[in-house]
Amino acid sequence: MTRKFSEEQIVGILEAIEAGESIDKVCFDYGLSRHLLRERVVGELSPEERLRVLEEDNRRLKELLGQLSLEGLLDAPSRRW
């Protein structure tokens, strides 16, 4: 099911991001996944705002990678069956 956003909603999303709101908060407020936000809305952002969104995604992914390596899940030997 594809959810369509009105022009007013897209403008609201863009204004919230440009105002510096957290990407996670914007996604929660509008019922978007990060993937949909990036796919449908980020293309309409200025290059500076697009860079900020991508940097925030990169930071989040680095935190997840760090948690996995601390838990030892990343360094566990792989089993070959």
Q: Which amino acid is at 27?
A: C
Determine the pLDDT at residue 51.
84
pLDDT higher at 3 or 37 = 37
Write out pLDDT tens, residues 27-81: 888 888 877 777 766 666 778 877 887 888 889 889 988 888 777 765 555 555 5
One-letter amino acid of 1: M
First to last CA, the chain: 39
Backbone angles phi and psi of 5, in degrees to 5:
-105, 140
